[in-house]
Amino acid sequence: MSVHDFYVISPYLAMAGAGLLVILLDLVLPKKSLLPYFAFAALAGPFVLSLIQFYDISESTNLLQGSGVFSTDEPSVLLGALSVDRFALFFNFLIIGATALVVLSSTDYVKNLERFQGEYFGLILFSATGMMLLAAATELITIYISLELTTLPLAALAAFLLNRQSTEAGMKFLIIGAISSALMLYGMALVFGFTGSTQLAEISTSIGQATGDMPFGSYALFIGIILMVAGFGFKLSAAPFQMWVPDVYEGAPTPVVAFLSVASKAAAFAVLLRVFFTGFFDVALDWGILIAGLAAASMVIGNLVAISQSNIRRLFGYSTIAHAGYILVGVAAGVKSGEGIFRAPEFAAIGPDSVLFYLAAYAASNLTAFIAITAISTKINSDQISDYAGLVTRAPVLSIIFALSLLALVGVPPTGIFIAKLYIFTAAVDSGLTWLALLGVINSAVSAYYYIRIIRIMFTQPAVSEEKITVSPAPWLALGLAGAAMVFLGIAPGFVMEAAQSAVRALAV
């Protein structure tokens, strides 16, 4: 490997090294309560290295057609498996930020995991490494390995509480994840058989040269893409591949659920966008219809089933299915809005741009909600929505911030998801998917019922206990940072939207 190769992969090495460091420190630190702070501090390594690469890409004259991709004249031992461009770096910052907030919010929660705190934080950091690699992967085998590096630590984390529900959550996540990985790997094999390559750029060239009257130009490519969509559908928690979500959300540790719902979803959408817009864009109209169907099913199923939930974590499980549907609207819209101009260096398709902005806004809002839920459930020892009654008298500030996060998830201004939904639905209308945008608006109105129900219970019903709920400084800091980001993205979305537009341009081939 050349020095350039080590420089390119340095953020990923730093994140994996942070995981190893935390596990080693667990062996020698007498005071385990310091581990969360060491894990948080260790994230400075991948963040600074990503920041250096971002400024290198912005200022370097050695770019590939202005797309923001590192270029080198030396042959790479990575064989083009990774592309460290603005797209990958956008998700690096998003995943590192989400990981930092989850680590901070776990400080109170992990006090009951005294023996396994090093493994807990190490697994989170290893999974984050896989997520970052997913956003940069441009080759099918690398994508598969990165997915497994992401999924296997999450399966272990889901079972971390070692009780019946947690063990069941871990087993379901592992088994269904293995099935989805097998489907996706078989789909990749069919794509390789048709195109003769595992590189996304070469796959795109082969598909562009293929001819045929059947969908996707070939039965092999047709089945391969369908199987890959099924595999990605599990990672996205999109219907009809969402069966695992409510059980895993109910049984896994609450901070792990927050990490799974935000960082894992962001990485899954990153690899979906790169694979389909870079590798399969020549058959985009075929898979675009499929994505639109998945978006509609996810919105409807997620919101309707969430209405009847009495457990707050199961409710958020179905909520995340609905939000996966909203984000898929942007993916489907990107097919038509980018048609004919996606490969031009100057292209600007609002669909993919809006997906990246939505992921950032959803991360801020959902993390705010889950950090509040973690703090509350740790004290009241219950996830039943009815036990949140009168919470405003026991923790006034926490209740207000939690209520704001619930309104943000509905899409109420001035929060980031309001702007994100505006972008997403505008993209759908502009690309001719008016029916999908209308369905999204209706489902947003439906979601207001179950989110506002929680607020009503917290603020209008009598408290079940008079005991005050206290939160330590680290979770308060995480809650404040996530809440500030949630509001900032609604008031001043321009900076993140410009970053999203710049990131998406790197996908043009």
Q: Could you give the CA distance from residue 387 to residue 436 in angstroms, rounded to a whole number?
A: 37
Three-state secondary structure string covering 409-450: HHCCCCCHHHHHHHHHHHHHHHCCCHHHHHHHHHHHHHHHHH
pLDDT over 90 at 131, yes or no: yes
For 1, 182, 301, the CA distances from 5, given in Å and listed in that order, are 6, 30, 45
Segment 395-414, tens digit of pLDDT? 899 999 999 999 999 988 88
pLDDT range class, residue 299, cuts 50, 70, 90: very high
> What pTM did the predictor assign?
0.92
Label residue 178 exposed, middle or buried (CB < 10 Å: 0-12, 13-18, 19+).
middle
Cβ pair 88, 133 in contact under 8 A: no
CB 391 within 8 Å of CB 463: yes
Task: Determine which of 21-25, 114-118, 236-240, 479-483 has the lowest per-residue pLDDT on average.
Answer: 114-118
Q: Is the pLDDT of residue 349 over 80?
A: no
Start-to-end Cα distance in the chain: 26
Q: Are 166 and 251 in contact (CB under 8 A)?
A: yes
473 upstream amide cis, omega within 30 of 0: no
Question: What CA–CA distances, in Å, run from 383 to 160, 230, 406, 453?
Answer: 18, 31, 16, 15
Q: How far is CA 470 from the centre of its chain?
A: 30
Of 83, 218, 216, 208, the closest CA to residue 143 belongs to 83
Handedness of CA 289, 345, 205, 268 (dihedral sign): negative
Residue 71 pLDDT exceeds 50: no
Assess contact for 119 and 72: CB atoms under 8 A: no
444-482, pLDDT tens digit by residue? 999 999 999 999 999 998 887 788 888 889 999 999 999
Weakest mean pLDDT among 6-20, 44-58, 59-73, 122-136: 59-73
Query: 479: closest CA among 211, 104, 194, 199?
Result: 104
Which two tokens mark 295?
Answer: 């978006």
State the chain's mean pLDDT as an integer: 86
